[in-house]
Amino acid sequence: MSRNFASDNVSPASAAILAAVNEANADPVSSYGADPYTARLQAVVSTLFETEVAVFPVATGTAANALALSQIAPPYGAVYCYEASHIATDECAAPEFFTGGAKLIGLPAADGKLLPEALAASIALANDMGVHHAKPAAVSLTQATEWGTVYSIAQLAAIAAVAREQRMTVHMDGARFANALAHLRCSPAEATWKSGVDVLSLGATKNGALCAEAVVFFNPKLAADFERRRKRAGHLWSKLRFLSAQLLAYFEDDLWLRNARHANAMAAALAGGLRAVAGARLLHPVDANEVFVALPETVVAGLEQGGFGFYRWPLCESRDDVAIRLVTSYATRDEDVGDLLAAIGEFA
C-alpha cells in the first residue's frame, strides 16, 4: 500500500513497459535512432493521430517542452502561457535556455485554462510596441492543466483561433495528455491538430514509463532540423531503441489510456470522498488525476505525521485552511485512496 500522493512521477514503471525494455535488449542495432523500434514508433504515432507526424522521443518532460518551444519561437520571440504554468515556474528557465532567450509572457487563467480575450489583448499590446517587444510567436497551453482540469475541445479551439489569427504556433504541454484524453473521450487527433495544436509534448513518464516523452509535430515541415536541436541538447540517445521501445509499449493495447483512466478514476474517488468531509473544500474541478483541496491545518499536519506524501500548495488568497495537492497514478490502488480518506476523516 502506498501513502505517496506527492506526484504521479513517484510511481514505478508499468510492467509492460519494463518488459519492452528488456525485450529490446537483444542483438546489436544501429545507434542514434537508426533502429527498427524508432522507425516503428514513427508509424505507430502517425496511425494513432490519423496523420503523418514527425515524432521525437526524449527522456524528460522539460526537454520535450523546451525543445518544442525552441522550434517554434525565435530567440527574440514571445511565448504566451498561463502565469503559473509548469514551463513558466517549474523548469528552471529551460524554455529561455533552449530558445536562446525568448520571453514567456505569463497570463491569468481560469482553473488553469487560458482565456482567449486576455491572450488576444496581450498579443495586441505587443504588436503595438513593435520592435521594443519580443515578437508574438507561440502559445503554450497545458492539457491536462496544472490544476487537474481539462480544456474542452471548444476551449482549445478558441485559444488556437487567436493564435492562428496572429500567425502564431500552438504548443500543448501534454505531460498528462493521456489523462486529458481519457476525460475528453475523443480521438487523439480531435484533441490536438484538429483543434489547432501544432506540436505536442506527449508525456509517458508520469503515466507508466521509466523515462519517455515524445515531441510530436503534426506538420512534419515544422520539424525541420529539429533532430539537430535534440542532438545539441544532449537528448539524442545513442541507444535510442530503449526510449522508443517504452513508447511503443505505452501505446500498445491502449496501455496509455487504460493507465490514465485508472488514475482519473482514483482521483474522482478521492474527490468524491472529500466532498463528504466537513471542512474540506475542493479548489478546482477534478477532471484528470490531480486533486487540489483546502483542509484545516490540523488535518494537513496529521496527514504529514501519518506518513502521507503530498505537497502544500500556495493559495492565492491567504486563508486559515491549507491547500494541498494529491496526485493519483496508474499505480494508485483503491485501498490507497480509502486509506487516505480514512485518515482525513479521522483528523477532521
CA-based Rg of the chain, rounded to a whole angstrom?
20
322 binds a second copy (CB under 8 A): no
Nearest to 44 by CA among 34, 55, 35: 55
Q: Which of 18, 115, 118, 348 binds a second copy (CB under 8 A)?
A: 18
Strand ranges (E), the chain: 54-58, 77-82, 103-107, 109-110, 113-114, 135-142, 169-174, 199-203, 213-217, 281-282, 290-295, 311-313, 322-327
347 binds a second copy (CB under 8 A): no
131 binds a second copy (CB under 8 A): yes
Between residues 61 and 196, which has the closer beta carbon with respect to a second copy? Answer: 61
228 binds a second copy (CB under 8 A): yes
Q: Which of 81, 134, 144, 215 binds a second copy (CB under 8 A)?
A: 134
Site for a second copy, residues 295 to 314, rule: CB under 8 A: 309, 314
Rounded Cα distance, 282 and 196, in Å: 31
Tally of CA atoms within 13 A in the half-sphere of 331 that contains its CB: 19
Q: Which of 54, 69, 72, 78 binds a second copy (CB under 8 A)?
A: 78
CB 50 to a second copy: min, Å: 28
152 binds a second copy (CB under 8 A): no
3-state secondary structure of 8: helix
- Is the separation of the CB atoms in 95 and 129 below 8 Å? no
108 binds a second copy (CB under 8 A): no
3-state secondary structure of 1: coil
Q: Which of 44, 51, 74, 189 binds a second copy (CB under 8 A)?
A: 74
Characterize 1-34 residue by residue with b for buried, 16 or more Cβ atoms within 10 angstroms of its Cβ, and e for exposed: ebebbeebeebebbebbbebbeebeeeeeeeebe
Between residues 18 and 277, which has the closer beta carbon with respect to a second copy? Answer: 18
Between residues 118 and 186, which has the closer beta carbon with respect to a second copy? Answer: 118
Element (H, E) at 267: helix 255-275
Q: Which of 20, 45, 54, 66 binds a second copy (CB under 8 A)?
A: 66
233 binds a second copy (CB under 8 A): yes
219 binds a second copy (CB under 8 A): no
User: Of the listed pieces 43-51, 133-141, 180-188, 279-287, which binds a second copy according to CB under 8 A?
Assistant: 133-141
Question: Cell digits for 44?
Answer: 505507430
6 binds a second copy (CB under 8 A): yes
Between residues 151 and 310, which has the closer beta carbon with respect to a second copy? Answer: 310
